[in-house]
Structure 1
Amino acid sequence: MKYILSLALMLSFMLSFAQHPVSPAAKPDSVKKPATLMPYSKVIPATAIQKHGMFTVDYVDNKYYFEIPDSLIGRYFLAVTRYVGTPQGARIYGGEEANEQSVYFERMEGNKLLLRAVVYRQDSEDSTQAIYKAVQNSNVNPVVAAFDIKAINQAEHRSVIDVTDLLKKDNAVFSISADSKSEAKLGGLLDDRSFITRVNAYPINIEVKTMKTYSSSGVGIQAGRAAGAVTFNMNLSMVLLPKVPMKKRLFDERVGYFANRYTLFKDSSQRSSTLDFIQRYRLEPKPEDVDKYNRGILVEPRKQIVYYIDPATPKKWRPYLIAGVNDWQKAFEQAGFKNAIVAKEWPENDSTMSLEDARFSVIRYAASETPNAYGPRISDPRSGEIIEAHVVWFHNVMKLLHGWYMIQAGAVDPRARKMKFDDELMGELIRFVSSHEVGHTLGLRHNMGASSQTPVENLRNKKWVEANGHTVSIMDYARFNYVAQPEDHIGKAGIYPRIGIYDKWAIQWGYRVFPGNQTTEQESKLLNKLTVDSLTKNPRLWFGGEGKNEDPRSQSEDLGDDVVKANEYGIKNLKRVVPQLPEWTKEEGDLYDNLAEMHKTAVAQYQRYLFHVMKNIAGRYVTVKSVEQSGPVYTPVPRARVKETISYVGRNVFEAPLWLYPQSITSKTGAKTADDIIDLQNQIMNVLLAPTLLYNLNNIALQSNDPYPVAEYLKDVEKQVWKPFGKNALSNSIRRSLQRSYVEKLDFIINPRQVKDGVMRSNTQRDDTRLLALAHARKLKSDVKLLAAADVRNADHYRDIIHQIDKILYDQNKL
């Protein structure tokens, strides 16, 4: 009886457990039931709306299905999400990228498909090597989504999955990036106000248009205040990437390309290698033209690089944008290709094409108040192959061009002397910006050192500069030839930037196809030899980087091989331009807004000249070289150039630039002359007497063959500050303020707050510069006493200065 009762209880427990199974999350995979396959005709009935392409897309009962061919399982797709329409005030515009990710489908047991994101950071490149498996084991790609296979299309070997939620809802791959959501202060996706509006299928891509609505308080996007929500029209492109990736071309710091980084592992190596490979289009000769190409005959590429012009672009600017693209044809000729790149107008009434389609590179036109343009590109993460690019052209870039050209070229080009340029002039300016941005989409980075490769006097040589241009690269920010003087009579060919010898060389380096089936490593050796030979033959091909290091040759907006001399010419032209601004900016009904705007632009240009020159102080020339090249990589800026810099600052800043603030302008705009000049002088003094700068100068002097001791430097700066006063009362007042600022900075060096507060000193406070500054302060006190005796009118000022120096020295004694 006991046995029967126990058996009954056991059966009752088992029955209860069967009625209340464990949750799916707790159930091990090994006992999960596979997804139930339905007959194809039940899932995709004859009434389904179908579109055929890379995947067959089915629309049934408000649901979207993808039929994934077996042949595309495991193939890589590039998923690019772009904005089509954006809410007002979002500072994001149609055509701009919202997200980008490479993905692939993977079949799993249980009738499932996984969508994985590709994270390409490590590689072994040879599956026959033992280390290949170790690399694979440490590179498990994340699962973005998992799908039950609803049915199998047996006739066409396709797996049917429901992608409605994937496309409609939020996810990390096919939606706005997390950073963009955070910046725009977006809340959650509002499902009831979000829709899939259209899905199209093409031979190598799928295009999905959606409307996505997010909750919003209006903090990030003002339009959200009205309804508590903002709506974006989006486009997702899923483009099939090549089955066999394009061969990588390894990055070289001596040539400016955007690059992807990865770590390479080999059985034969004793350490991993961190490598970069450049981003570039796949440009190859046609099979029948390979022999001609190898013999140096120009051939057309197998696939031309094509850019389309957004039909929203005003018609009068389209020819200039097209010309800016076509100008690159000459550069590709140096790589062996003719007609390699072309721009075209967007075809009218062609329903098979979409501006957001990732098969097409487009110059998009944005109705933006932001004065800018930029040229991003989308590339295969495995190889760097550029798949497509979208130059985004903001309407107000023309405002920026107008300001630059009036101030920089107004002294030499009469066409620049009005608030609305003629269409021809503005078109020519648009053309050069178009070329610059397209250069980025071809893979080229900024080369801010390019303009330093032109001798200053050549910028004034009409014949030379009109033949060669004022900079060797369109990828520099060398806007216009502000060095040219009116008496030089230089035409527009010598004023505008153009595609130069560096650009042609860089395209040759990145796009030249080498004969034979070279490996990436073999090709890298050939490229190194090409680089060494080319730079040895023509040093002007130097890539100067993006202006972010200590090299004063690599700066934006500068010109010439001697920035001190170049910017003296620039100031001569500014002195011609500024007095004319009231006349040049005059328009009927204008309340002097034009004058205020252009005067600020002139002041900014003046300050730009100043800070170009200042970078010489404590700077070093940095010339990246391989072991095959002779000469040093790091070279201190010559002592004579630094002394010229201090003299320049004395002439153009410490001598108050009152010419920059004529009463004909300040009386109309309210600009405050003294405030502006004193603020600038104090800013410069902060740099000249910064403890870190003196520390660096001292270290450079200790190691230099041509040293510039800190004591001598301080004496040179002092000479520019402590000059006799003139007759202009405002200038004298500004000079007295400058001298008080000078003494304040000495106090900061000699009696740093950290020392007063008992905090450990930094290296800049432990080295000899404090002692040198202390000796300089004592000598300055003696010099000021002599000035006080000679200048009775300013005796009170000098006595106050002596008092301030005594306080500095007294504080020092207390320490």
Structure 2
Amino acid sequence: MKKHLIGFLGLLCLTGSCGVFGKKGRISAAGSNAYIHAETKPYDKIISKDAVSHRGLFNVHEVEDRYYFEIPDSLLQRELLVVTRFIKTPAGASSYGGEEIGEKTIWFEKGPSNKIFLRIQTLVSEANEEDAISKAVMSSNATPILEAFDIKAVNEKQNAYVIDVTDFINSENPLLSLTEKQKKEFNLTSLEKDKSYIRAIDTYPINTEIKTVKTYKAKISEDKSKNLPAAILSGVVTVEINNSMILLPKVPMKKRYYDPRVGYFASSYWEYGDDQQRADRNIYIHRWRLEPRREDMDKWERGELVEPEKPIVFYIDPATPAKWRPYLIRGINDWQKAFEQAGFKNAIVGKEWPVANDSMSLEDARFSVLRYFASPSRNAYGPNIVDPRSGEIIESHIGWYHNVMNLLHNWYMVQAGAIDPRARKMEFDDELMGQLIRFVASHEVGHTLGLRHNMGASFATPVEKLRDSLWLEKHGHTSSIMDYARFNYVAQLEDSISVRGIMPRIGDYDKWAIQWGYSLFSGQQSEKEEKEILSKWATDSIAANPRLWFGGEGRDFDPRSQSEDLGNNAVIAGFYGIKNLQRIVPQLVRWTGEKESDNYDNLEEVYDAVLRQYNKYISHVLMDIGGLYITPKTVGEGGDVYQPVSKEMQKEALAFVDTYVFHEPSWLLYSDILNKIEAPLAKKDLSGTMEGVMTTLLGGSRLSRMEFIADRYKYEDPYRPEEFVQEVSKLVWKELDFNEPVNAYRRSLQKAYVANMLTLYNPKEPKGGFIDALLAKLSEGRTLHTDVRAIALDNLITLEGKLRTTIPFTRDPMTRMHLQFLYKQIEEAIGEDKFPTRIYAPLDNKMSIQQGGKGNF
């Protein structure tokens, strides 16, 4: 049945839409030569004998300083994907050659008055052509005409139309130029046409590649950090850009519907039909087109592994240092075993770029390339370019930043230095760094195959198994390389864990996800029939093997889905992680100073990485308090989607926070380090961690959520916010029970507690700038119709009375001054003029009244 596809909603991040692309309607212009006017010149008058011509998707002709496209009638109304990338960027920019600028879907059509129109997709609806509603869909989805070209000549033999594209390519337009966001980032204004030109246009069977040099005026910003050196020196900035025009398949690949239990990137559009009672959102995953070769169909039907008709090939940028290329190729090829579960062998291959082949270009959209960037940024990423009609991945350019090795070094030294002697120096051996590079390459390639992060994968591994060498050899420390599991920081030196138990590798989930997304079905099932089969498959597979669970990029309140955590118990994992940090901190001076001429920059950098790692362990545990497990399910599965973290687990998390945050972590204040690094701010940093933890613990969002869970879900013995706040209070104010001195760290802790309680009680009175005001407003919004503010008030009243009775008997001068300061803060906030009468319930549950605030609480 024919359909009108009037656009689509592209690249769904599934935490929100990441971009909008389109797909055209099938409204065509009049017949083949209806608009050819008399002013059209003979073909040989435009394309002279002196023309330099190239045959391909569009025949391209260069005549003097003009460029002409010859568009055959067969390509009118055919969708083309235009992918724009940088070739060269200015020094100091945050973008690099090979990185994508944008992508759009276009098509050419005949228009009136001797014109060829270029339309650009923008819309998001589909309807069956035979349904009446298709008329409404089409009438509400007009696609814009981006450019109108005069038909300069007609090639009667080829039934093709000649248009002059020179001025369009050299102009500032949304198809072939920088985006407004990028121009703003570079502080660029108008295009300098006299300093911009077409460098080359190459054309191939399914794509045409345009290379341009564009120069822009640049303004100087008051923020000097945003000014590019070229702008300061000359007032202009020059970039080189490549535009790939790729012909999309005439018959789109069969779509595979998205399932939230399997982590794929996806696109979507709205589908309308006469028989509907509501519009359907058609969501389909991104994947490569892998099909058996015709000669191997019998083997495939018998279940034998076969090679695909067109394998996925990634080339390594020749700018990549030679010694790292083999490891990058291994990281790519590691996915071959995953595709074997989908029925394909040699489905993905890494290769070195054939530098001797002048006909190949790194920017050519026919080739997928791992681009190597000379950048101080510590990053890598794996995008994919898709056919918007079907989700078919057309190509990918992985971005690899040179300095990602610095990030890998610090991670590995801090997380594995206690158990792997190779990690105990500033320059790793090539074999170790190569293994680290291989792991990151595999992760980024996973994204190019359509896979999203699976932050819940590490939760599938019991913490005790992270110390079991035999188990780790078989399974690895996480079920997915798409997790941010990094390295096994739980394992202890006495566990004798090999590198296979330390580093991530492609796991159970990855193989199954590829199998789910890329396996083909024999027979003629429709997309919707396949959806039902795949849904049942997901239900049965996850039930049989919990390691196949997809935890998403990090669900809001689900402690199972966190970045850079390990195991199914953050408290125990954090205990072991901190134990390893305590082992390595005394060794850092020796590990980071290998040469007598070294200064202490390395020490400071690695010590900062230790502080960040410590903060991660704390943040992982905090997620348990007020945590809510979120498990997407189908109706056929049964069971609850939402389930709170047990009260016992939440109390264990609070005890962990008391041990490692509420009491100063003196093991981090190692004097041999602090006396050497340039700015010994550890005390300030640790106080900042503690203050941040207190703000998180006593935040309106967490307490309101705890109240909601307790009141709405009706689970037995929930951890209510009033009980939680009381227990936090007991831990923070221990010294008052025994009239003990309060040290500087604990004084900061108590100040943070009071400040947060005052904000909870009265969020309308922020002290500070815009950010403080915004946070207070958010807190008010979260607590306005809850009991949280009442809990805060009750706690402050109780604390005020406790301080009043304690201060007169406090002998330590600094402690007394500290408590007086806090008492005054509370009194000013909830003074007697506001609360002349206070009511409380003593232990015998009889109500009593204290007048004028004179009694003891």
TM-score by length of 2: 0.88
Tell me what 1:14 maps to: none
Contact 2:35 2:112 in 1 (8 A): no
Question: Using the alignment, how far apart are the partners of 1:762 and 1:431 within structure 2?
Answer: 47
Q: Which among 750, 754, 760 is matched to residue 749 of structure 1?
A: 760
Cα distance in 1 for residues equivalent to 2:38 and 2:430: 65
Residue 612 of structure 1 corresponds to 620
CA contact (8 A) 2:593 2:599 kept: no
Deviation at 1:195, TM superposition (A): 1.1
> Alignment partner for residue 443 of structure 2, among 436, 440, 443?
436
How far apart are 1:501 and its partner, in Å?
0.7
CA distance in 1, matches of 2:381, 2:827: 55
Aligned-partner residue type, residue 64 of structure 1: Y
Match of 2:200 in 1: 198
Cα 1:208–1:723 change in 2 (3 A) is same
Match of 1:675 in 2: 684
Contact 1:563–1:613 (CA under 8 A) maintained in structure 2: yes
Contact 2:735 2:741 in 1 (8 A): no
Contact 2:644 2:709 survives alignment (8 Å): yes
Residues 259 and 278 of structure 1 are in contact (CA less than 8 Å); yes or no, is this contact kept in structure 2? yes
Is the counterpart of residue 521 in structure 1 residue 528 in structure 2?
yes
Using the TM superposition, give the Cα deviation of residue 141 of structure 1 relative to its aligned residue in structure 2, in angstroms. Answer: 1.6
CA contact (8 A) 1:691 1:765 kept: no
Change in Cα spacing, 1:738 to 1:37, as seen in structure 2 (3 Å) is same
> Counterpart in 2 of 1:713?
724
C-alpha spacing 1:586/1:754, structure 2 compared with 1 (3 Å): closer
For the 8 Å contact 2:758–2:792, the answer to whether it is kept is: no
1:663 is the counterpart of 2:671: yes
Instruction: Give 1:806 shift.
Output: 4.5
Distance in 1 of aligned mates of 2:762 and 2:242: 61
Mapped to 1, the partners of 2:690 and 2:355 lie a distance apart of 58
Which of 528, 552, 560 aligns to 2:559? It is 552
The alpha-carbon distance between structure 1 residues 115 and 791, as it changes in their structure 2 partners (threshold 3 A), is same
Kept after mapping to 2: 8 A contact 1:95/1:364: yes
- Residues 754 and 761 in structure 1, CA contact (< 8 A), matched pair in contact too: no
Instruction: Return closer, same or farther for 1:762/1:216 CA change in 2, 3 Å cut-off.
Output: closer
CA contact (8 A) 1:305 1:342 kept: yes
Q: Alpha carbons of 1:640 and 1:787: their partners in 2 closer, same or farther (altered >3 Å)? A: farther
| Residues 151, 160 of structure 1: 8 Å contact kept | yes
User: What amino acid is aligned across from residue 215 of structure 1 in structure 2?
Assistant: K
SS at structure 1 position matched to 2:376: coil
Whole-angstrom CA distance in 2 between matches of 1:730 and 1:113: 84
Structure 1 residue 383 corresponds to structure 2 residue 390: yes
8 Å contact from structure 1 (residues 373, 437) kept in 2: yes
- Give the match for residue 4 of structure 1: none
AA partner of residue 112 (structure 1) = K
| Alignment check: 8 A CA contact 1:658 1:673 kept | no
Give the conservation status (yes or no) of the 8 Å contact 1:99–1:175. Answer: no
Equivalent position of 2:129 in the other structure: 127
Q: In the alignment, is the contact (CA less than 8 A) between 1:614 and 1:645 conserved in 2?
A: yes
CA distance in 2, matches of 1:53, 1:746: 70
Aligned partner of residue 506 in structure 2, secondary structure: coil
Between stretches 613-622 and 381-390, larger displacement belongs to 613-622
Q: Which residue of 2 aligns with 1:641?
A: 649
Deviations 1:576-595 (A, max 9, x none): 11111111100432221111
Of residues 66-75 and 312-321 in structure 1, the stretch that sits farther from structure 2 once superposed is 66-75
Question: Is the Cα–Cα contact under 8 Å of residues 106 and 114 in structure 1 kept in the other structure?
Answer: yes
Which of 71, 76, 83 is residue 68 of structure 1 equivalent to? 71
* Matching of residue 684 in structure 1 with residue 693 in structure 2: yes
1:396 aligned to which of 398, 403, 410: 403
Shift of 1:311: 0.4
Task: Give, in whole Å, the separation in 2 of the partners of 1:541 and 1:35.
Answer: 67
* Preserved CA contact (<8 Å) 2:212 2:241: yes
Q: Distance in 2 between matches of 1:805 and 1:792?
A: 22
Structure 1 equivalent of residue 750 of structure 2: 739
Q: Is the 8 A contact 1:372 1:396 kept in 2?
A: yes
Does residue 46 of the first structure (1) align with residue 49 of the second (2)?
yes
Deviates more, 1:799-808 or 1:303-312: 799-808
CA distances 1:263-304 after superposition (whole Å, capped 9, x unpaired)? 001122122111211111111112233343233221111110
Q: What's the CA shift for 1:692?
A: 3.2
Question: Aligned to 1:153, which of 152, 155, 159?
Answer: 155
Other-structure match for 1:137? 139
Query: Is 1:767 aligned with 2:786?
Result: yes
Separation in 2, partners of 1:225, 1:97: 26
Name the residue aligned to 2:82: 79
Residue 776 in 1 paired to residue 795 in 2? yes
Query: Is the counterpart of residue 274 in structure 1 residue 277 in structure 2?
Result: no
Residue type of the alignment partner of 1:661: L
The whole-number CA distance in structure 2 between the counterparts of 1:599 and 1:525 is 52
Change (3 A) 1:50 1:730: farther
1:324 lines up with 2:331 in the alignment: yes
Write the distance in 1 (CA, Å) between the matches of 2:735 and 2:793: 24
Cross-structure match for 1:307 = 314
Q: Tell me the CA shift for residue 726 of structure 1.
A: 14
Q: Output one character per residue of 1:129-178: Cα deviation in whole Å (capped at 9) or x when no partner.
A: 33333322222221121111111111121111111112222211111122
State the match for 2:21 in structure 1.
none
SS of 1:810's equivalent?
Answer: coil
Supply the distance in 2 between the matched residues of 1:643 and 1:651 (Cα, whole angstroms): 13
Shift of 1:809: 4.3
Deviation per CA, 1:74-124: give whole Å up to 9, x if none.
111111111111110111101001121111110123322111112351112
The one of 292, 303, 306 equivalent to 1:285 is 292
- Write the mapping of 1:462-481 to structure 2, written as runs, cut at 5 A: 462-481=469-488
2:39 corresponds in structure 1 to: 36
- Decide which of 418, 422, 426 is 2:425's aligned counterpart: 418
Equivalent residue, structure 1, for 2:110: 107
2:622 alignment partner AA? M
Residue segments in structure 1 that go unaligned for 5+ positions in a row: 1-30
| Partner deviation per Cα, 1:507-544 (whole Å, 9 max, x = no partner) | 11111111112221111111111111111111221111
> Relative to 1, partners in 2 of residues 1:33 and 1:792: Cα closer, same or farther, differing over 3 Å?
same
CA contact (8 A) 2:257 2:283 kept: yes
1:35 offset after TM fit, Å?
A: 6.4
Determine the C-alpha separation between the residues in 2 that align with 1:466 and 1:674: 40
Q: What letter matches 1:777 in structure 2?
A: L
Quote the Cα distance in structure 2 between the aligned partners of 1:211 and 1:770.
Answer: 61
**Equivalent residue letter for 1:106:** E
Aligned partners of 1:609 and 1:791: how far apart in 2? 36
Quick one: which amino acid aligns to residue 65 of structure 2? N
Over aligned residues, Cα RMSD in angstroms?
Answer: 2.5
2:80–2:106 Cα contact (<8 Å) kept = yes
**Post-superposition shift, 1:355?**
0.4
Which residue type is aligned with residue 130 of structure 2? T
Task: Look up the equivalent residue of 1:180 and give its one-letter code.
Answer: Q
Q: Relative to structure 2, which stretch is displaced further, 542-551 or 371-380?
A: 542-551
* Cα displacement string for residues 34-76 of structure 1 (whole angstroms, at most 9, x for unaligned residues): 4611111111111211111111111112111111111111111
CA distance in 2, matches of 1:771, 1:140: 55
Between the aligned partners of 1:170 and 1:803, the Cα distance in structure 2 is 63
Q: CA deviation at 1:725?
A: 9.7
> Could you list the per-position Cα deviations for residues 765-787 of structure 1 after superposition, in whole angstroms to 9, with x for gaps in the alignment?
44323333333334445655786
Preserved CA contact (<8 Å) 1:120 1:382? no
Q: Residue in 1 aligned with 2:219? A: 217
Q: CA–CA distance in 2 between the matches of 1:177 and 1:814? A: 62
**Contact map agreement 2:116 2:150 (CA 8 A) in 1:** yes
1:35/1:149 contact within 8 Å kept = no
What is the CA distance between 1:798 and its match in structure 2?
Answer: 4.5
| Superposition pairs of residues 233-382 of structure 1, within 5 angstroms | 233-382=240-389
1:329-350 per-position Cα deviation (integer Å, ceiling 9, x unaligned): 0111111111100010001211
**Gap change, CA 1:615 and 1:37, over 3 Å in 2:** same
CA distance in 2, matches of 1:245, 1:665: 61
